[in-house]
């Protein structure tokens, strides 16, 4: 093929490189669409959240992952397009230009808008997770200590206390608001319930308040998420979410008791 013919083909956009780039873009598009369509609401390996608060955190995480798939897809798509479209085809020196102000403004403004968007949704969800109900149905004081947890229900004077050999259970009602007061008796601990997408420091001298609105009955694992000493790994507990009725009978049966 003559050089002039190749040149004409390039100008007309029928070059093999262009076809390759188009094929690459189609494949990238298909890969992204298949990830999106694999499930209507993919969890991306996260817990879906067994409380209304945890559910909001999950939706925020989902949004972040979807945003990163889009950004990554566009970035890699453009990268491969440029690699294929503008690879060396002849010894001719390509058209030289100093800068492209429009593109520079575009790739500065778009990332700023993305960060502002992510920040906006993060603040919105954090406010929702930290919101405290003025009229909680149940109150529990959680005390972290080396190396266990104490759950105290002031309304019924019920105490559930754990030890290194016995993991305590925090019992909560489903569909109701439980106000938790979190304190530490000695060092810094971390009150972490993975299925609730929730973790908060238990700090000596600091009183933390937060609400849980469990949405599904079941038993969930909880643990200390802050290295707090020799038996830190033994600072496990469980959370049992009962129906409101079952919870009522549990509190009645446990009134005034101290259980380990």
Residues that bind Cu ion (CB under 5 A): 189, 224, 228, 235
CA–CA gap between residue 205 and residue 187 (Å, rounded): 10
Nearer to Cu ion, 138 or 182 (CB): 182
Nearer to Cu ion, 138 or 235 (CB): 235
The vertex-58 CA angle with 53 and 59, nearest 5°, equals 100
Nearer to Cu ion, 224 or 239 (CB): 224
- Least spacing, CB of residue 185 vs Cu ion, in Å: 11
- Least spacing, CB of residue 234 vs Cu ion, in Å: 9
- Least spacing, CB of residue 144 vs Cu ion, in Å: 6
Residues in Cβ contact with 138 at an 8 Å cutoff, skipping those fewer than 6 apart: 153, 155, 172, 173, 176, 177, 178, 179, 247
- Least spacing, CB of residue 226 vs Cu ion, in Å: 6
Strands (E), the chain: 138-145, 148-153, 158-161, 169-173, 178-184, 189-193, 198-202, 208-212, 218-224, 236-242, 258-259
Q: What is the DSSP letter of 147?
A: T
- Least spacing, CB of residue 201 vs Cu ion, in Å: 10
CA–CA gap between residue 194 and residue 48 (Å, rounded): 10
Structure-token pair, residue 214: 């469990």
Nearer to Cu ion, 138 or 224 (CB): 224
Nearer to Cu ion, 82 or 221 (CB): 221
């Amino acid at each position: 093929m003559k050089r002039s013919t190749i040149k004409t083909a390039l100008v007309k956009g029928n070059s093999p490189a262009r076809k390759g780039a188009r094929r690459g873009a189609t494949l990238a598009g298909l890969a992204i669409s298949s990830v999106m369509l694999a499930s209507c609401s993919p969890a991306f390996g996260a817990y879906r959240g067994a409380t209304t608060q945890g559910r909001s955190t999950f939706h925020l995480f989902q949004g972040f992952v979807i945003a990163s798939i889009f950004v990554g897809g566009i970035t890699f798509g453009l990268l491969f397009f440029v690699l294929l479209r503008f690879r060396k085809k002849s010894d001719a020196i390509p058209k030289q230009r100093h800068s492209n102000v429009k593109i520079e403004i575009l790739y500065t403004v778009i990332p700023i808008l993305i960060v502002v968007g992510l920040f906006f949704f993060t603040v919105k969800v954090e406010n929702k997770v930290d919101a405290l109900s003025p009229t909680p149905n149940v109150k529990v004081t959680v005390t972290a200590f080396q190396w266990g947890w104490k759950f105290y229900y002031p309304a019924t004077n019920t105490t559930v206390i754990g030890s290194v050999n016995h993991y305590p259970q925090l019992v909560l009602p489903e569909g109701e608001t439980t106000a938790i007061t979190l304190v530490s008796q000695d060092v810094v601990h971390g009150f972490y319930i993975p299925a609730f997408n929730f973790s908060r420091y238990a700090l000596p001298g600091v009183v933390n308040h937060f609400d849980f609105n469990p949405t599904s009955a079941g038993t969930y694992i909880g643990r200390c998420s802050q290295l707090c000493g020799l038996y830190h790994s033994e600072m496990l507990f469980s959370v049992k979410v009962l129906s409101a009725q079952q919870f009522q009978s549990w509190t009645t049966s446990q009134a005034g008791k101290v259980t380990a």
